[in-house]
A and B are shown apart, each in its own frame.
Chain A
């Protein structure tokens, strides 16, 4: 049996034909990355417009916020290139926030009636913790912030954050369209990506890192330890998005992983089954803010979901990685 496996390993192709590599990259860029950032730019523009029209923390604005945040979750795993210029991704999504910098910074702005809200340029200079979707959640869903300071200032702040989110998202899209998509589609020895396998490695890492963040932060933070669960650390619990975020993260990485698996039907089927099994566990949870982490029985099901995501990541590392020419060593994948 062992000899058979060895034989099988020996006849596996070591790399894919260039045509195939190029097709996978084009599929991810054209059908995953660009549409994702277009949706983010569109929905965040709509959010800014809605805030302009009616800045009260009520349904229309909350709906626009939800739609825009969902769009961010479609691309939040793509942490390279345009999202990393000038800390743009952090400016959209400052989380986790173990020291409570976001409520602190927002409180400071409101108490001082800081006039940085007056213009986009000046707002871009406030603490990064007071910018982005996570800051806006406090203003739209937290009772303390819904009444802090004057309605006029709160309104100006909500509008400033929404405008800033839209501007950052538009900048990311512009960079992707104008040059970064081209860099990924046409690797060249004199360019940022020298060859297609480097591009594939970048894309593959985005998938595995995205899942790691979901396991360690989105689930690991509220789970804490058995003796000390931390339900208040659940991501976006004020807006009830904690579990929703996990589902969106799985959905986005699933789409990207399957495009990377490309025409390999056996691999595609295996990845589909593993992702769908994990997604089924998530949707069956019926615990939107992971309140169950403090209950031994309910906690067990959240831990199972976390293990399922870790398993999913291992399957990607062992099955998809080698197909794309990404090796996984003891130290290489897990250093310190």
Chain B
């Protein structure tokens, strides 16, 4: 008689076990690192209504995460200068693997999967020589480190896979740090950030360097649109009385445009953009300002300022049902349409810097 157990055993023997998918993790749409009210840290999955889908504890303060394109797996990165990252099965909450940075390297807190999910790329600092590196991990071999190449700049931070190509976009922030000195910035007078486009073997395919007068504008976070347009968010390290642009757009034809709001709201950003994201249909581009407590939205085609949405300590930003979804250090998840909020879900956790969209890769 065919029992259920026997049937399943037969499936396993035949290698036919249905693969787990993100649906097995409660179908979260987003990942966010958070600080719980008890002071402990966790990675939280949020559904498209802003409700908690799952929660897994983290050993310390997290930063960003990378979601596997198909399997319900996320790589949670510690806040820099962390030396390990955790691969978490978001369906079971179990730790699947642990990535330890190579000797003499530490992670910067961001990573990107290849389109088929077989490779993971991580931004790293080879700190004795202050060389920016991209680590390569074989996902199919249980996240085994298989190599690394130069990021072609100091302090690589965000890293994204370009749509339709085996190309990585890397934000080389330009700031030298060394774990011996914590997060102290060691090279401000000479820093030179860039946005680099690298092949999977580390060749530079293209590079955007800001004007030398803006060499203190650290390029940190990226947003990608299906046509290959890249939005890059910056953090100014120079004169606090200056108000340089904090958002750039690099179009597929290679042209670069800098975007900023009118003087008053722009100055309210306080020289710092936390996250950047396109909205779902790609017509709008937003940046968050935790210091200024606002999200600023721009027309992606023209670069025109579309408006601001105000929320305390807002930093996490992704596309969402109303246009954008934001998370804040005060625990709010907001569905935002340019200047207005469609709804808010309040959590007791404080959300850390980024809100990561779990989405089929572009």
The answer to whether residues A220 and B272 also contact, given A84-B242, A331-B315 and a CB cut-off of 8 A, is: no
**A202-B240, A221-B181 are known contacts. Are A335 and B272 too (CB-CB below 8 A)?**
yes
Measured between beta carbons, the chain A residues less than 8 angstroms from B235 are 335
B312 contact from A84, A90, A94, A329, Cβ within 8 A: A329
What residues of chain A lie closer than 8 Å to B184, measured between beta carbons? 96, 213, 216-217, 220-221
Q: Are A84 and B329 in contact (CB under 8 A)?
A: no
Q: Which residues of B contact A3 (CB under 8 A)?
A: none
Q: Tell whether, in the assembled complex, residue B240 and residue A128 are in contact, meaning their CB atoms are under 8 Å apart.
A: no
**Interface-central residue, B186, B242, B274, B312, by most chain A CB under 10 Å:** B186
Report the separation of the CA atoms of residues A105 and B241 in the bound assembly, to the nearest whole angstrom: 31
Q: How far is B186's CA from A233's CA once the two chains are assembled, in angstroms?
A: 12
Contact: B330 with A224, CB < 8 Å?
no
- Minimum CB distance partner of B79 in chain A: A336
Interface string of A129-168 (1 = CB under 8 A from B): 1000000000000000000000000000000000000000
Contact A205 B290 (CB under 8 A): no
Contact B181 A217 (CB under 8 A): yes
Q: Say yes or no for B18: interface residue by CB 8 A criterion.
A: no
Q: Which residues does A use to contact B, with CB under 8 Å?
A: 79-81, 84-85, 87, 90, 94, 96, 98-99, 101, 128-129, 183, 192, 194, 198, 202, 205, 213, 216-217, 220-221, 223-225, 228, 230, 233, 327, 329-332, 335-336
Bound Cα distance A107, B283 (Å): 54
The chain B residue sitting closest to A230, CB to CB, is: B180
* A335 adjacent to B353 (CB under 8 Å): yes
Question: A84 touching B130 by the CB < 8 A rule?
Answer: no
**Which chain B positions have C-beta within 8 A of A96?**
181, 184, 186
B183 CB within 8 Å of chain A? yes
Once A81-B239, A230-B180 are accepted as A-B contacts, the answer to whether A331 and B328 lie under 8 Å apart by CB is yes
B313 at the interface (CB under 8 A from A): yes
User: In the complex, what residue of chain A is closest to B179 when comparing beta carbons?
Assistant: A225
A213 to chain B: closest residue by CB: B184
Contact between A331 and B290 (Cβ–Cβ < 8 Å)? yes
B145 within 8 A of A: no
Residue B264 at the A interface, CB < 8 A? Answer: yes
Question: What's the least CB distance linking A81 to chain B, in Å?
Answer: 5
| B239: nearest chain-A partner, CB-CB | A84
User: Are A225's CB and B180's CB within 8 A?
Assistant: yes
| Chain B window 231-273, contacts with chain A (Cβ cutoff 8 Å), 1 for yes, 0 for no | 0000100111110000000000000000000001001000010
Whether B290 contacts A220 by the Cβ 8 Å rule is no
Question: Can you sample 14 A-B contacts with CB below 8 Å?
Answer: A79-B240, A80-B239, A84-B239, A96-B184, A202-B241, A223-B180, A224-B180, A329-B328, A330-B35, A331-B315, A331-B352, A335-B272, A336-B109, A336-B220
Q: Is B291 an interface position by the 8 A CB rule?
A: yes
Report yes or no: A336 in contact with B182, Cβ–Cβ below 8 A: no
Any chain A CB within 8 A of the CB of B359?
A: no
Does B189 make an interface contact (CB < 8 A)? yes
- Separation in Å of the B42 CB from the closest CB of chain A? 14
The residue on B at minimum CB distance from A225 is B180
Q: Smallest distance from the beta carbon of B218 to chain A beta carbons, Å? A: 11
Complex Cα–Cα for A221 and B279 (A): 42
Q: A90-B188, A98-B186 are in contact. Are A332 and B291 (CB under 8 A)?
A: yes
Tell me whether A330 and B313 are in contact in the complex, defined as CB-CB below 8 angstroms, given that A87-B189, A98-B178, A220-B184 are known contacts: yes
The verdict on B28 contacting chain A, using a C-beta distance below 8 Å, is: no
- Smallest beta-carbon distance A76→chain B, Å: 14
Give the distance to chain B from A91, nearest Cβ to Cβ, in Å: 8
Q: A335-B315, A336-B80, A336-B109 are in contact. Are A129 and B241 (CB under 8 A)?
A: no
Once the chains bind, are B313 and A336 in contact (CB under 8 Å)?
no
User: A327 — which chain B residues lie within 8 A by C-beta?
Assistant: 293, 312
Interchain CA distance A335-B267 in the complex, whole Å: 18
- Write the nearest CB–CB distance from A104 to chain B, whole angstroms: 12
Q: Are A228 and B239 in contact (CB under 8 A)?
A: no
Is the Cβ of A216 less than 8 Å from the Cβ of B353? no
Q: Given the interface contacts A329-B290, A336-B79, does A228 sit within 8 Å of B180 by beta carbon?
A: yes
